[in-house]
Amino acid sequence: MSKGYAWTVFALGFGLLLSDYMSRQVLNAVFPMLKAEWLLSDAALGSLSGIVPLAVGVLTFPMSLMADRWGRVRSLLLAATMWSLATLGCAVSASYGEMFVGRLFVGIGEAAYGSVGIAVVLSIFPVTLRATLSGAFIAGGAFGSVLGVVVGGAVAQAAGWRWAFAVMGIFGLVLAAVYAVVVKESRLAPRGRSSDGEDGAEARDRLRTHLPRLFSSVSVISAYVGSGLQLFIAGALLSWLPSFFNRYYHMAPAEAGGAAGGFAMIIGLGMIFGGVASDRISSTAPIRKWAVAVGCSIGALLLLTLTFQLPTGPAQLLALAVGCLLSAGSAGPAAAMVANLTPASIAATAFATLTLANSLLGLAPGPAITGALADRFGLLGALRIVPLVAVVATLAFLVGRHWYERDLLRIADLTTKAEPKHTSEIPS
């Protein structure tokens, strides 16, 4: 495969990733309009936002398995078409119920893209570029979130909220059509791949054998829990900052979306910087990864608590910026710890499990619970409560750190015992 074709596949995959997150986050830019037109509660608005990551979390694993058997390119095209059509469906929704169904199908369509999209890209590039490409995909998610809020807010203010959804849906369909023309499974698949059903049976047997090892240590469970709970805060901020700027800074939807988009970018940069800092600090002592996760959790707790106690103004925005930077900084260290604590043979399954924890503990309930709290205490009161989740996340990371070295030794011992003996040692 030529370098040009490989980078073309990457560019189209990156574009679909942008469409994925734009379709997911555009809703948050039009919260004020939906609230006014349909007289929705904040809890209802939060559920419209939370249903997408909930569907993604629940379905990522089975959809990824299906893609491996059915064909990754074909699965990606089906996924992109589904989330784009569902986003167009949101544009013509006449009620909360119809919008909820549309958002559910957005989540179903997006469920496989994160794991399958990066798998396609990594399969056609050298191993030495994997970290760079993975980091680019993480940044792409943050950039797509920014575009969804900023562009969605601008379009909604100029032409109405329905057109904000329509633009995102059309963009996704156009990209899917280009991807279908350019990217072919036959050009990506390794030569000599088996076409019979034996590989699927072997994969199922391997999954049944290794599945218990996904939860075989206290420290890996702590990494799942800590990562998911910390992303509860990031998910709440991504969903509700446009409404925060609209209500308390009296910004129009386009301006509020632009401001919230900037802070969404800061959250994404925090994910990358947290991973970089973790790698540098723990180069000689792997246990220091836990210190980075704990530091991000405690820092986010203190700064975000301060943020929503301060009056509106520059001081509050500065505290919010630093708090956002730390709010998801534990994502990189947590992923690295999961990789260290699970066998390499089930690395993909382990990351799917981490995605499940991030979605079910964080990204899905964060917006919905914040909305329910806002109905009771007001949005500012809800945002004062949300950072307290970092207390539990910090405790989870501290428990994981306590058991980490013992669990590493135990896993290394199990791996050594599982390795086959040299042929010369096997009796004839």
CA distance 316 to 263: 13
Confidence of residue 428 (pLDDT cuts 50, 70, 90): very low
Tell me how many degrees the CA angle 248-27-169 measures, rounded to the nearest 5: 150
Q: Which of 117, 116, 106 is nearest to 65 (CA)?
A: 116
- Asked if pLDDT for residue 191 goes beyond 70, the answer is no
Residues in contact with 188: Cβ distance below 8 Å, sequence separation at least 6, in sequence order: 1, 9, 72, 73, 120, 123, 124
* Strand, helix or coil for residue 427: coil
| pLDDT tens-digit map of 196-253 | 344 555 555 655 665 666 777 889 899 999 999 999 999 899 889 999 999 999 999 8
pLDDT of residue 412: 67
The more confidently predicted of residues 128 and 357 is 357
Distances 383 to 35, 132, 326 between C-alpha atoms, Å:
18, 34, 16
Q: Which residue carries 């799942």 as its tokens? A: 224
Amino acid sitting at position 192 = G
pLDDT of residue 408: 80
- Asked if pLDDT for residue 354 goes beyond 50, the answer is yes
For all residues of the chain together, what is the average pLDDT?
84
- Asked if pLDDT for residue 366 goes beyond 80, the answer is yes
CA distance 73 to 67: 8
* Strand, helix or coil for residue 286: coil
Confidence of residue 393 (pLDDT cuts 50, 70, 90): very high
pLDDT of residue 132: 58
The string of DSSP codes covering 124-170 is: TS-GGGHHHHHHHHHHHHHHHHHHHHHHHHHHHHHH-HHHHHHHHHH
Confidence of residue 7 (pLDDT cuts 50, 70, 90): confident
pLDDT of residue 418: 53
CA distance 116 to 20: 13
Q: Which residue carries 């520059």 as its tokens? A: 314
| pLDDT tens-digit map of 241-280 | 999 999 999 999 889 988 998 998 898 888 878 877 877 8
CA distance 156 to 154: 5
- Asked if pLDDT for residue 176 goes beyond 80, the answer is yes
Q: Which residue carries 């205490």 as its tokens? A: 377
| pLDDT tens-digit map of 40-66 | 999 999 999 989 988 988 888 787 777
Amino acid sitting at position 374 = A
pLDDT of residue 127: 60
CA distance 61 to 112: 8
- Asked if pLDDT for residue 302 goes beyond 80, the answer is yes
pTM, two decimals, is 0.79
pLDDT of residue 140: 73
Average pLDDT over residues 22-39: 92
Phi/psi at 190 (5° precision): -60, 145
